[in-house]
Structure 1
Amino acid sequence: MGLRPEDLERGEVYRREWLLERGMHRRHLSSPAMTRVLPTCYTRTDYPADLRRVAVEAQDLLGCPSVVAGVTAAELFGVRLPRRARREGGARVHLDTSGGSSPRRTETLVVHRCAPPPTIRLHGVTMVEPLTALQEIAGRLTLDELVIAIDSLVADRFGTAWRIPLTEVREQAGAARGRGAKQLREAAALARERVWSPRETQMHLLLRRYGRPVTVMNHEVVDPATGIVYYIDLAYPERRIAIEYDGAEHLTAPDRVSQDHRKSAVLAAEGWTVIRVYSEDIHEPTDFFARLEHAWVTETTTSPPDSYGPGSAFAAPAAAGSIGSAA
């Protein structure tokens, strides 16, 4: 009896010729049980090889020195990317090489010929540096998506495996040249530190685009009774205004709902006004800004005046600009 898909190791990549030599029928290779991950290379569909393993095989398959690049390197770093730029969304493996005679582009692999870029080694894979990877894919992302990616690169929690301080990112982006450099600089100028999710990026960009004051990202509040630390997504600490983004899990996951209730109770006891934001508020923010204006005006009646008086910074927007989408 010939080799069958279920006989193969889980999470491995196999060459077509190796499988055929060991008796696997061609119909198995074209069946749903096997997935082609590279030219002439397959993995089990039920237990597929991870991106790191596929990238290493791609380098070996190329047969000349190369480095993992573009969206592949960015995903291996853990950069927040839209689904279409990730492997699960069908993104191809990208390699940079100075060898060979011409670029190569297939349904699963893209090889770019270029001068040898600066590299680092992570997870046993030689890759271009993170900002080089982002510059290479800048033209394929919207501005918001590129800011989300940089926010994840500079985040102190829930970010990438290779963190770079925002000041260094802006310095490197300022010195970048060539395709994608302009987009990289624009996104670096908008990026913030301590941004722990794509929706937080969208919220701080929304506030910026409508001329609102800069918030503190993931502001820390300690429950005086229990010592438990809570983090506010976006905060105006001087006004005790908390902006919390609630995704679907905040409404459906029992543990998350319970945690949100405890957090809201602590914030209320400490004098905070909590404004909860949902996905529809990002695309149509009029109601959100009205609630923010109300909270700001209410606080102003008991606080010293400042440059953001009632009816100025938080007036509801008359017209919305284009807010980019992100996965």
Structure 2
Amino acid sequence: MRTPAPLPPGAPGRFLVSEALANGVSAKRLRAADLATPHRGVRIATEPPAFFTGRDQDRRQAVAAAGWKYAPRLKDWQFFSHETALALLGAPLPEPPHEVGLHVSAHRPRREPRIAGVGGHRLQTRDPAWFVTRTGFRVEDAARAWRQAGTLWGLDDLIAAADFLVLPRTRLATIDELETEVELMGDTGDGRLTRALREVRVGAESAGETRSRLLVTRSGLPEPVLQYELFDAHGLFVARLDAAYPEYRLAFEYDGRHHADPQQFAKDADRWEAIRKTGWRLVRILSHHVRGGSPAAVSMVREALRECGWHG
């Protein structure tokens, strides 16, 4: 088998056929077996880089890889939007089997893409607000992308995504900005975004934390204080608690991790003991506690509250 002719020096891992031809690459070379064709007019010479690590890595990477392969086709006025933008920004994804699609938008009078496998959207005449992420993707403004996903995602998925966007460490949006976007551009037909905004809170650092909080508060239990800092009797910092009831010296936390690291487990065990020594009680909610028709998380928190003096 003959070795394919080299591409021009400095050729990127993905490129447009038209640009390659303009730089002297032959049409025959562009049909070689070592080049993939993810979309008409695009060639891929290498595998996409790893964009995400950690929780939900495979699903996020799939979205990022699809965007990376399509990116050479983006016109100057086009950008990734809707749920694609949320995924590329790192927001929690809906539970499987929902698969995040590839969405590309443009503002009128410009045209959206019309190509198989891509959801093209022609948005209202409006000043663009897209920006480039640290990983190099041109994405829609976070608040706008969240509103656009309103017809694609369920209520709790939208709340979890909004909780992520308004986290101080992400600084992608504020609750006021989300509310303003919905007021300006409209809600879904069922008012889903407005309903979601009523339950968005600053402080939930994972989808698991959001979902466990929603289960607890929707069952009629008190609203917890998020990210409560606990100090001992000497004023020394002990722990930051995901969701706390200071009046009852009770907290609950969602722990969806699988501890394969003995050192991490030992560190967590020391933390739990330090919390106990302050006189606080900690309810640990695991992933199976939030599943099913009658999730155990609700009864766990309710019983703990009553034992700590709550009479609601």
TM-score by length of 1: 0.73
- 2:13 maps to 12
In structure 2, the CA distance between the partners of 1:69 and 1:180, relative to structure 1 (3 Å rule), is farther
In structure 2, the CA distance between the partners of 1:11 and 1:83, relative to structure 1 (3 Å rule), is farther
Q: Distance in 2 between matches of 1:145 and 1:8?
A: 45
What residue identity is the alignment partner of 1:164? A
Percent identical: 21
Contact 2:4/2:29 (CA < 8 Å) preserved in 1? yes
Report 1:48-87 matches (<5 A): 48=49, 61-63=73-75, 65-82=77-94
What residue identity is the alignment partner of 1:204? R
Displacement of 1:173 after TM fit?
A: 2.7
- 1:220 maps to 229
Q: Distance in 2 between matches of 1:224 and 1:4?
A: 70
Displacement of 1:180 after TM fit?
A: 6.7
Q: Distance in 1 between matches of 2:214 and 2:167?
A: 16
Q: Distance in 2 between matches of 1:84 and 1:97?
A: 31
Report 1:11-160 matches (<5 A): 12-16=13-17, 18=20, 21=27, 23-29=29-35, 34=36, 36=38, 38-44=39-45, 46-48=47-49, 61-63=73-75, 65-82=77-94, 91-99=101-109, 104-107=114-117, 109-118=118-127, 119-123=129-133, 127-157=139-169, 160=170
Displacement of 1:47 after TM fit?
A: 4.2
* 1:243-280 Cα distance to aligned partner (Å, 9 max, x none): 1212133x333233122111111110000111111111
Question: What is the RMSD of the two structures over their aligned residues, measured on CA atoms?
Answer: 3.7
Contact 2:107/2:125 (CA < 8 Å) preserved in 1? yes
| SS of equivalent to 1:146 | helix
Q: How many residues align?
A: 290
Displacement of 1:178 after TM fit?
A: 5.5
Displacement of 1:216 after TM fit?
A: 1.0
Name which of structure 1's ranges 61-70 and 203-212 shifts more when overlaid on structure 2: 61-70
Report 1:289-304 matches (<5 A): 289-300=298-309
Contact 1:71/1:94 (CA < 8 Å) preserved in 2? no
Q: Distance in 1 between matches of 2:9 and 2:270?
A: 49
Contact 2:255/2:285 (CA < 8 Å) preserved in 1? yes
Q: Distance in 1 between matches of 2:276 and 2:306?
A: 18
- 2:284 maps to 276
| SS of equivalent to 1:238 | helix
Contact 1:232/1:242 (CA < 8 Å) preserved in 2? yes
In structure 2, the CA distance between the partners of 1:169 and 1:101, relative to structure 1 (3 Å rule), is closer
Displacement of 1:207 after TM fit?
A: 1.1
Displacement of 1:185 after TM fit?
A: 1.4
Q: Distance in 2 between matches of 1:4 and 1:223?
A: 66
Q: Distance in 2 between matches of 1:245 and 1:44?
A: 42
Q: Distance in 2 between matches of 1:227 and 1:3?
A: 66
Contact 1:153/1:163 (CA < 8 Å) preserved in 2? yes
Name which of structure 1's ranges 272-281 and 14-23 shifts more when overlaid on structure 2: 14-23
Q: Distance in 1 between matches of 2:109 and 2:71?
A: 12
Q: Distance in 1 between matches of 2:256 and 2:40?
A: 39
State yes or no: 1:236 paired with 2:242: no
* 1:144-176 Cα distance to aligned partner (Å, 9 max, x none): 10001100011123xx4x432223423433443
Displacement of 1:236 after TM fit?
A: 0.8
| SS of equivalent to 1:156 | coil
What residue identity is the alignment partner of 1:296? L
| SS of equivalent to 1:194 | coil
What residue identity is the alignment partner of 1:283? R
Question: Please, which runs of 5 or more residues in structure 2 have no aligned partner?
Answer: 52-62
Name which of structure 1's ranges 133-142 and 276-285 shifts more when overlaid on structure 2: 276-285
* 1:90-117 Cα distance to aligned partner (Å, 9 max, x none): 632422242466761412x332223233
In structure 2, the CA distance between the partners of 1:219 and 1:78, relative to structure 1 (3 Å rule), is same
- 1:208 maps to 217
Q: Distance in 1 between matches of 2:304 and 2:110?
A: 62
Q: Distance in 2 between matches of 1:229 and 1:132?
A: 39
Contact 2:14/2:72 (CA < 8 Å) preserved in 1? no
Q: Distance in 2 between matches of 1:67 and 1:47?
A: 19
Q: Distance in 2 between matches of 1:269 and 1:199?
A: 26
Contact 2:13/2:46 (CA < 8 Å) preserved in 1? no
Displacement of 1:224 after TM fit?
A: 6.6
User: What is the aligned counterpart of 2:4 among 2, 5, 14?
Assistant: 2
